[in-house]
Amino acid sequence: MLNNFFEPRHQSDPRLVEQVKSWVHQALHPDEDTSIMVTELRCSEPGCPPIETVIALLKTAHPTSQYKIHKTIAEITQEDIATLTQPTD
Domain ranges of the chain: 14-82
| pLDDT over threshold 60, residue 2 | no
Cβ-contact 54, 41 below 8 angstroms = yes
User: Hey, is 30 helix, strand or coil?
Assistant: coil
Whether the model pTM is above 0.75: yes
pLDDT tens digit sequence for 14-72: 999 999 999 999 999 998 899 999 999 988 778 888 899 999 999 988 899 999 999 99
Supply the pLDDT for residue 24.
97
Cβ-contact 22, 30 below 8 angstroms = no
d(CA 23, CA 50): 24
User: In whole angstroms, how far apart are CA 67 and each of 34, 54, 63?
Assistant: 15, 6, 13
